[in-house]
């Protein structure tokens, strides 16, 4: 029997345990015939960081997937991702993914170059500049990490495909679609124009709290697989305690995956999940981020308000980056990735590195928070940030 989403136990990253679990998942989720084909394996490589931080796909997970593929005799296996500001191979080396790729007989590809790809079913975007390697591939094997996400609430299979946009092109998309709703629609548009995608989700150790880059690893002990990213995301979000119906881009992705490009709401009740059910693995105390909200969603009707008042309301009511000079290492990652050019690196009165933010320019995409390697950026309200700054100033006087 095949399932729309395969959900099964896998308690750790021991090769023998992974091999058994992935083989079972491939069979139960209908992994396609890849003999003689070119495969692109797409891990989650947000930045180069040790695998125990749960920021990236675990290298043992990638290694096991490569073993599974090699048994099926593809013509060529490529592995690659495009972090926001680091070179892919350098980040992959730090995360252990480059060694896993080479040991598995695959070829690492840096997604530096791109080519335009039509998205005829897109609602907001009809054409994407995507990694040129896609032109060579028959199948994408998608390896997302299960994590919370400051902008999108949850990140998994659909969001991981955003890494197919080369380099800082991702920042351009954040600038073009600054609110979570439009950004989510863009993500679904992107997923609609790709070659076939099969997903194995690394959810053995997930990330809770301030994801996707500065949260806390959380052992969950299961993995998921599916021929379709959208149903997998629906199930995975449910497993950690989210209501997928409250995450707009998951609703959009799932609806479109079931009805083509129609906007008709569909029910997830007919989704076949197995051999485990969500109730068998659901984590009730997973540290979740709030569902994405705007000033209007908080109960403030600003439709007839002047534009300056709308901007002020969103500045005060929507969570924004808070920079902590005592933790900043002055790497400039946040400054380099900021699509709105709202950040500048300087020094405070004590000679420490300090990032200054122009609130009037910030689009609250949280890219800076994602890439910070020192956990020097948190997310909160502007008034809270100013209160904290004033308290620190009082303590130094």
- Domain 5-281 CATH class label: alpha beta
Predicted confidence (pLDDT) per residue in 167-181, tens digit: 888 999 999 999 899
pLDDT of 391 over the 50 cut: no
Give the integer Cα–Cα distance in Å for 155 and 160.
7
Overall average pLDDT of the 348-374 stretch: 88
**What tokens appear for 181 in the block?**
């709703």
pLDDT of 260 over the 90 cut: no
Predicted confidence (pLDDT) per residue in 47-60, tens digit: 999 999 999 999 99
Q: How confident is the model at residue 315 (pLDDT cuts 50, 70, 90)?
A: low
Give the integer Cα–Cα distance in Å for 49 and 96.
8
Average pLDDT of every residue of the chain: 89
Q: Domain residue spans in the chain? A: 5-281, 307-396
Q: How confident is the model at residue 380 (pLDDT cuts 50, 70, 90)?
A: confident
- Domain 307-396 CATH class label: alpha beta
DSSP string, 283-342: -TT--PPPPP--TTTTT---TTS-HHHHHHHHHHHS-EEEE-TTT-----HHHHH-TT--
Give the integer Cα–Cα distance in Å for 395 and 397.
6
Predicted confidence (pLDDT) per residue in 104-155, tens digit: 999 999 998 899 999 999 999 999 999 999 999 999 999 999 999 999 999 9
Contact 253, 38 (CB under 8 A): no
pLDDT of 250 over the 50 cut: yes
Query: What pLDDT is attached to residue 387?
Result: 43
Whether omega for the bond prior to residue 212 falls within 30 degrees of 0, making it cis, is: yes
Predicted confidence (pLDDT) per residue in 272-287, tens digit: 999 999 999 999 999 9
What's CA 160's distance to the chain center, in Å? 5
pLDDT of 393 over the 50 cut: no
Residue in the block written with tokens 């600038």: 175
Torsion of CA 158, 340, 122, 118, to 10 degrees: -100
Predicted confidence (pLDDT) per residue in 81-106, tens digit: 998 778 899 999 999 999 999 999 99
Query: What pLDDT is attached to residue 394?
Result: 42
| Cα Rg of the chain (Å, integer) | 21
Overall average pLDDT of the 228-249 stretch: 97
Query: What pLDDT is attached to residue 320?
Result: 83
pLDDT of 259 over the 90 cut: no
Helix pair 180-191, 229-239: axis angle to 10 deg: 130
pLDDT of 261 over the 70 cut: no
């Amino acid at each position: 029997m095949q399932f729309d989403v395969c959900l099964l136990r896998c308690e750790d990253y021991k090769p023998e345990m992974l091999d058994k679990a992935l083989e079972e998942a491939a069979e139960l989720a209908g992994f396609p015939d890849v003999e003689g084909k070119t495969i692109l394996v797409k891990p989650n490589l947000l930045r180069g960081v040790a695998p125990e931080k749960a920021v990236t796909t675990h290298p043992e997970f990638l290694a096991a997937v490569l073993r599974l593929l090699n048994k099926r005799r593809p013509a060529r296996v490529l592995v690659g991702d495009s972090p926001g500001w680091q070179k892919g191979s350098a980040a992959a080396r730090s995360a252990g993914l480059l060694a896993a790729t080479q040991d598995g007989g695959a070829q690492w590809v840096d997604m530096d170059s791109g080519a335009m790809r039509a998205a005829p079913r897109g609602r907001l975007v009809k054409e994407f500049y995507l990694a040129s390697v896609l032109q060579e591939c028959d199948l994408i094997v998608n390896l997302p990490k299960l994590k919370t996400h400051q902008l999108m609430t949850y990140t998994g299979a659909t969001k991981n495909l955003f890494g197919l946009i080369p380099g800082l092109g991702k920042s351009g998309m954040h600038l073009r679609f600054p609110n979570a709703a439009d950004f989510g629609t863009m993500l679904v548009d992107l997923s609609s124009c790709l070659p076939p995608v099969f997903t194995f989700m690394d959810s053995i150790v997930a990330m809770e709290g301030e994801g996707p880059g500065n949260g806390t690893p959380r052992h969950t002990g299961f993995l998921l697989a599916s021929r379709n990213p959208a149903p997998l995301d629906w199930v995975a979000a449910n497993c950690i305690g989210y209501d997928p119906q409250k995450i707009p881009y998951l609703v959009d992705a799932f609806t479109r995956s079931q009805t083509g490009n129609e906007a008709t709401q569909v029910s997830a009740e007919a989704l076949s999940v197995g051999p485990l059910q969500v109730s068998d693995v659901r984590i009730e105390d997973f540290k979740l981020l709030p569902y994405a909200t705007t000033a209007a969603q908080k109960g403030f009707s600003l439709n007839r308000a002047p534009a300056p008042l709308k901007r002020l309301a969103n500045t005060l009511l929507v969570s924004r980056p808070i920079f902590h000079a005592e933790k900043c290492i002055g790497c400039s990652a946040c400054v380099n990735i900021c699509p709105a050019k709202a950040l500048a690196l300087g020094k405070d009165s004590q000679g420490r590195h300090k990032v200054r933010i122009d609130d009037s320019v910030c689009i609250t995409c949280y890219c800076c928070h994602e890439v910070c390697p020192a956990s020097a950026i948190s997310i909160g309200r502007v008034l809270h940030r100013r209160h904290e700054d004033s308290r620190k100033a009082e303590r130094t006087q």
